[in-house]
Structure 1
Amino acid sequence: MALLDLDARWRRFNDPDRACPCCGQRFSGVFDIGFDHPTPWAHEPREDQPFVKQGDDQLTADLCRAGDQRFVRVVMSFPVQGAEDEVMHITPWAELGPEAFYAYLETFDGGDAPAVDDAPAALANQLPGFEDETEDALPILLHFPGPDARPIALAQGGKLAEAQENGVSFDQLLDIYAAFGQDIRPHLQQD
């Protein structure tokens, strides 16, 4: 049994058959959160559109060009402390230098180009729950697992790197969701 199984809120959070007494909302455990576009994107959000183009600027689900800047959507993973094999993923954007961006682009969608080496990048979104750290472009290292997966981003220091390494508590997880506009804490308090 995992340590978090002792927390009634965790059990409610992971019980898809339980309806919140105040609103009927149901939860089925840890869910991922993502960003539509990098912060420097000054145009309309992509939302459900496959592609947005404004002049030379372009935005897809995984690639973005805004002026001279190039961005890729990445995955940051955070284990949940006290839970077995539970991980929350956040998919922000990262700014890459031109050489790394175009090397990645060559492999995108199954291209035959050689694998991309790990590359330094800068986080291009403020992560909920880590606003103090992500106000400026936080340095990250990108690992490129292959053409079928988004690059993996590893923070290079601070609380964000610590959270990736050691995980987040259930309360921190709920705080991150709340900061992202999905405050589910009140719905887990009672039966």
Structure 2
Amino acid sequence: MLTSSRQCRCCGATFAQLLSLSCDRPDQCPEDLVVQDNSAVLAQTGDVLTDDFCRIGDLRFVRAVLAIPLADSDGQEFILGTWANLGVEDFDAYLDLLDMQETESLGSRPAWLANAIPPDNGTPVACMLHMRPEGQYPELQVSEPNNPLAPLQNQGAQLEELFELLHTYGHDLASLVYDS
């Protein structure tokens, strides 16, 4: 589909495949909370944001991916780098197994999508968080059949639908499609 690397004209990101979105923090995380090294989640008390974990009061978040298959593409996926809100016990169990790269043994856990996707969708979305092997980010599967992401995940999305989603985030469509 896309044959060479390109740079998004609006955000400057360089990519070689279809651009994926990545949220830098859960929506409930204050913008002034500074991103720290992942070790801070174990070393500090109180609110903390790292590259892969976030703790705000009683809320716990882990970085996850939400994959949307691209229809008629031989298995290509559009990846949304998101955050998942987990229960405290599941979050603690995930951290305990992370160093040993055994998080897959947790199986699937209930979670909430912690980012509004699309951006005007302000209601939390129930999901299942599926753990994956070898230190890969866990994958979110939307559990609510009436949510607009559910049919995209289950049946695949047309390229135009993905472009519309990217456009809602302000990405320049021409830089996503045409080789530079």
Shorter-chain TM range is 0.7 to 0.9
1:74 is paired with a residue of what secondary structure?
A: strand
Provide the residue aligned with 1:35 in structure 2.
Answer: 23
Confirm or deny: 8 A CA contact 1:108 1:147 kept in the other structure.
no
Letter in 2 for 1:145: R
Tell me if the contact between 2:67 and 2:77 (Cα under 8 Å) persists in the aligned partners: yes
* Structure 2 length-normalised TM: 0.78
Q: Counterparts of 2:45 and 2:72 in 1: how far apart (Å)? A: 49
**Identical-pair percentage:** 28
Query: Is 1:83–2:73 an aligned residue pair?
Result: yes
Residue 33 of structure 1 deviates from its aligned partner by 1.4
Shift of 1:111: 5.4
DSSP-derived class of the 2:111 partner: strand
- In structure 2, relative to structure 1, the CA distance for the partners of 1:32 and 1:18 (3 Å cut) is closer
With normalisation by structure 1, the TM-score equals: 0.74
Which structure shows the higher strand fraction? 2
Does 1:59 pair with 2:49? yes
Q: Which runs of 4+ in 1 moved over 3 A?
A: 26-29, 49-55, 111-114, 185-189
Question: Number of residue pairs matched?
Answer: 168
Change (3 A) 1:100 1:82: same
**1:151 aligned residue:** 138
Q: Give 1 or 2 for the bigger CA radius of gyration.
A: 1
Taking only aligned residues, the RMSD between alpha carbons, in angstroms, comes to: 3.1
* Unmatched segments (≥5 aa) in structure 2: 8-13
In the alignment, is residue 178 of structure 1 matched against residue 167 of structure 2? yes
SS at match of 2:117: coil
- How far did residue 110 of structure 1 move? 2.3
Q: Which runs of 5+ in 1 are unaligned?
A: 1-10, 20-25
